[in-house]
Amino acid sequence: MSILVSIITIAASGVLASVVAHRLNATKEHVFFMRRKVEELYLALERYDRRLSAHFVGYYGVLKNEITYNDLLDLQNSRGKFNNDLDHSIETSIMLVSVYFPELKQRLNSYIDARDAIHEILADHKRAYKRGDIDGTRWVEPFHESLLNLDHIAAELKEAILSEAVALKSAKYL
């Protein structure tokens, strides 16, 4: 009888050890996977934000009536159009947040809304410009304030992503 109990104990211990080892490895792999995803998110957003900022800077000259839209287009073409050189960074960011980091969705939406507000200001100016009202100085201040707001929101979003990365760095596997 004691041999049977010993055999059952050894077998149960082996099964339990296998289950614990499998769970530990699966959890560890998941944490490493999520670390890669948070790094990918940060880099995609950083790439997009940097390109977006560079794209918007040229509009100061148009709004201040220092250059025309044609001049700006020539500048953009000389360095590669923003949209053609995007490599889907914002789409990557949206997908990663939607799938892996839904707690960041509100912050990412705020970033996109701030970007869209800048596009609205530029669209308003362009409509006036096409009507012959080329003095864009009344749009300089709202444009500048909107860019500052975008930068602020981007910094908060990147900080939140970094917080996710730090949490994953210190994640325990059990």
Spans of all domains in the chain: 33-169
Spatial separation of the C-alpha atoms in residues 156 and 46, rounded to whole Å: 12
Sign for the CA dihedral angle at 59, 63, 67, 70 comes to positive
Spatial separation of the C-alpha atoms in residues 61 and 125, rounded to whole Å: 13
Instruction: Give pLDDT, residue 78.
Output: 81
User: Of 162, 166, 172, 158, which is closest to residue 48 (Cα–Cα)?
Assistant: 158
DSSP H stretches of helix in 58-136: 59-63, 69-78, 89-100, 105-130
What are the Cα distances from residue 162, in Å, to 40, 46, 47?
Answer: 12, 12, 15
Sequence-separated (6 or more) residues with CB below 8 Å from residue 76: 55, 58, 82
Place of tokens 């995803």: 37
Instruction: Give pLDDT, residue 77.
Output: 82
pTM for the model stands at: 0.80
Instruction: Give pLDDT, residue 20.
Output: 46
- Contact predicate 72/61, CB 8 Å: yes
pLDDT of the chain along its 174 residues, tens only? 677 666 666 655 555 555 444 454 557 888 889 999 999 999 999 999 999 998 899 999 999 999 999 999 888 888 765 554 456 899 999 999 999 999 999 999 999 999 999 999 999 999 999 999 988 899 999 999 999 999 999 999 999 999 999 998 877 654
- At residue 172, the 3 state secondary structure works out as coil
